[in-house]
Structure 1
């Protein structure tokens, strides 16, 4: 059966290992590129959040609420920005690009607050990865990042503010960005990677199949055919040694063995002929000796 042939088994395992190795490599590479794109998005969101906070600092410092409303509404209308909002230390939404949620209380167990309020005492400092979150809304993913608004000297020393000096965090700036473009880029990279992986696997597999057929399958078939002919008594058959590798050496050894078998066969034939001649001579001598013995007996 074909599946029992050495070349078929060899091709199967080599191609299978090639597929696994290339598949694992592309899987790791794809995940690395995806994480790189997400990290770039988080870094961009952090820079945007810092820029927005610095841009709103003057209005917040002087309590220009109307200017804050207009600035947040204008920034929130930009492409790729899903929502901008500011909540105070109690969790009330003071400003938002979505006016319908202004004045509402945020859930401290929600994604935007959980990073800080997971402990009994809210955390005051968080690393960038812990300040960011990825969640799904309206069928696509969003990247959210929170940026604490700290109580600076200009804040607690200002005459119009009532924040005590020992209050570290006054509120939080929360920005949500759409990851639709990033996810589209990830899908494009995934599609390109899968296509290149398929082409690579097919090309490498074809090269491997051709190599095995030429370097292994054909010489092995010639050796099998040669052993069959020698077993049938054809000691004049020789196998061409097409290479200097182990298979070529095996073919040369096979030809040497066949030549030795031919010589042994010739010697056996000669021995059989000599034995037959000796047997014939003995028979003739016996036949001659019988009359001679009779004559000698008679004459004596």
Structure 2
């Protein structure tokens, strides 16, 4: 784990540095101010001292005691460490009249310090009458305060005998006094030490106070937060902070407690949901298996164990292909996953531990991580072995039932036809017995019709049972309908029914078997004529059958529509209309015509529908694909 410095130490260091800088700057500024005022006080005192010496010299000079002036200068500076040199100079000659070392023959020049002190001023005549001072740094160390006090040519001096001439100057001389500032510097240095001690003491006290304050206000609460968050990070979600503090740390602890409670609640919900989902998967009767990207089994539920006979410990980590009768079937399913993330109801075969085959419907889905990367597959397989066996039995049963129904229908149809033949034979017999040719002819006609009906039934049975293979070609449905109209128009007219064809001129050719379509349409038109013949019309009504052909807007489908205004049919009749051996023609119907028609239309990939209302008529619609039946279409 990365080593980290404590924030309390960082914060303490920053605050201590700031406090230290503030205290040092404050001490430094205080010392500057103290040194300034100490020097100013020393200046005032020493200026006053120079004025006192000047007054003493003034008295001695007024009494013309020149020797006393020298003695005064020597006495004042003798045995004192404060005084440096004291010199009394004549002006303007520049002669040193008296000093601590006695009279000197040296003549001061204008550029010398005492002279330049006034002559370098902008207004020497005005400024030279003031007492002036200057602090000088000595080469050997220490400082010196040089005080220049002018001796003015006052009225009492002008009236004295020694100065009673008109050209006497304004300034008679200068008193130059040097004072050593060692005591002042020592006092300032002592103040610096005091300030340094005070700064150090304040720094230590501040450091201690800051350490105590930060330790109580920051370090302990932060340590408590760190310890608590580490426990939460270790999934100790039952941990809670005390949250007793009334500051921001208390608010932070409350936030952590609330966050932990929410996480705990969410984890509980997720755990419940996961257990619920795991229960669904585990207790499902379906075969549920997950496979990793390498094709090895990862999970194997109870349903898979029961269906395939393996214990999950036996197959987890093994290649999934061991469960397939033909491993290539899984490759086909996986290949389908390249373009989609799931394959639904893929029929395949699994191999049980005992070597038996199980038919299953497999729904295979791809598993992905949050970044969208494939992490395996999830398969749910439904065992349909028993269902297929039952369906096979059902199909066999339905075949037997269909055969029984067909036999019953045939027997019923033959019975009706035989009754008609018996009736005709009886009339023939009576006609022969009575030598009645008319009755003989009537009976023979009935026998011929019965023979024709039996022949038709036989042909319909052969057609219905026949394995049809349409011979497809491009057919003009308009021409086909015109031929049907030409064939049946006279027969319809003889029965009082008008047949009309409504054909547009721009019909596209349709790919179909013209013989089969001709048979289907002819059967519907014949039924329409029969429906009109069976209806009692009102005086203003005329029996009519209309055959129309048209295409939809996309030119993909062509429709043949047969309309009649005959007797119509009830909803129950329409519902059973295409059922084999169902007939509305009583003893003359076989019940196979429309069933055969529907089969023909299905062979072409088309549909046939009917709309009908009793006593109002019926409309049959045959819809055929223009481009012929699809290869996937069966006989239906």
Mapped contact 1:149–1:169 kept (Cα < 8 A): yes
Name the CA distance, whole Å, in 2 between partners of 1:149 and 1:33.
33
Q: Which sits farther off after the overlay, 278-287 or 220-229?
A: 278-287
Higher strand share goes to which structure? 2
State the shift of 1:144 in Å.
1.6
2:99 is aligned to 96
Deviation at 1:111, TM superposition (A): 4.4
Match of 2:197, SS state, is helix
Deviations 1:33-56 (A, max 9, x none): 111111111000111011111121
**Which piece of structure 1 moves more, 164-173 or 126-135?**
126-135
**C-alpha distance after superposition, 1:98-143 (max 9, x if no partner):** 21x6232345445444331224773542697953333326543222
Structure 1 counterpart of 2:265, from 240, 263, 270: 263
- Could you list the per-position Cα deviations for residues 6-29 of structure 1 after superposition, in whole angstroms to 9, with x for gaps in the alignment? 222212211111111000000000
Which residue pairs with 1:169 in the alignment? 171
Residue in 2 that maps onto 1:145? 147
**Segment of structure 1 superposing worse, 69-78 or 24-33:** 69-78
Give the distance between the partners of 1:128 and 1:184, measured in 2 at CA: 29
* Corresponding residue of 1:31: 32
CA deviation map 1:77-118 (0-9, x unaligned): 25222221111223221111221x623234544544433122
| SS in structure 1 of the partner of residue 60 of structure 2 | helix
Larger Rg: 2
CA-CA distance at 1:152 after TM superposition: 0.6
Q: Paired residues, what number?
A: 299
Counterpart of 1:196 (choices 188, 195, 198) is 198
1:21 aligns with 2:48: no
| Conserved 8 A contact 1:2-1:8 | no
Instruction: Give the superposition deviation at 1:168.
Output: 1.7
1:40 aligns with 2:45: no
CA distance in 2, matches of 1:8, 1:161: 82
**Could you list the per-position Cα deviations for residues 170-192 of structure 1 after superposition, in whole angstroms to 9, with x for gaps in the alignment?**
11111111212222212211111
Bigger helix fraction: 1
> In the alignment, is the contact (CA less than 8 A) between 1:49 and 1:147 conserved in 2?
yes
**1:9 corresponds to:** 10
Report the TM-score, using the length of structure 2 for normalisation.
0.43
Quote the Cα distance in structure 2 between the aligned partners of 1:171 and 1:221. 82
2:159 match? 157
Identify the residue that residue 211 of structure 1 maps to in structure 2: 213
Q: Give the 3 Å change call, closer, same or farther, for CA 139–281 of structure 1 in structure 2.
A: closer
Cα separation, partners in 2 of 1:212 and 1:12, compared to 1, 3 Å: same
Provide the secondary structure at the position in 1 that maps to 2:200: helix
Which whole-Å deviations, capped at 9, do the CAs of 1:217-251 have from their partners, x for residues lacking one?
A: 23223323333332232212223435322222112
In structure 2, relative to structure 1, the CA distance for the partners of 1:15 and 1:177 (3 Å cut) is: same
Paired residue secondary structure (1:134): strand
Per the alignment, in what secondary structure is the counterpart of residue 176 of structure 1? strand
Report if aligned partners of 1:116, 1:124 keep a CA contact under 8 Å in 2.
no
CA distance in 1, matches of 2:206, 2:286: 76
Counterpart of 1:56 in structure 2 is: 57
Give the secondary structure class of the aligned counterpart of 2:179. Answer: strand
Report the Cα distance in structure 1 between the residues aligned to 2:128 and 2:390, rounded to whole angstroms: 134
Q: CA RMSD in A?
A: 3.1
Question: How far 1:162 moved relative to its partner?
Answer: 4.8
Give the match's secondary structure for 2:124: coil
Q: 2:186 maps to which residue?
A: 184
Q: Which sits farther off after the overlay, 197-206 or 234-243? A: 234-243
Q: Secondary structure at the residue paired with 2:64?
A: coil
Deviation string for 1:190-224 (max 9, x for gaps)?
Answer: 11111111111111012112222222223223323
**What are the equivalent positions in structure 2 for 1:269-284 lying under 5 Å apart?**
269-283=271-285
- Name the CA distance, whole Å, in 1 between partners of 2:240 and 2:169: 97
**Alpha-carbon distance in 2 for matches of 1:3, 1:202:** 26
Alpha carbons of 1:129 and 1:40: their partners in 2 closer, same or farther (altered >3 Å)?
Answer: farther
Structure 2, unaligned stretches of length 5 or more? 288-302, 308-381, 398-636
Residue ranges of structure 1 left out of the alignment (5+ in a row): none
Contact 2:27 2:199 in 1 (8 A): yes
Secondary structure at 1:234's aligned position in 2? coil
Conserved? CA contact 1:108–1:114, under 8 Å: yes
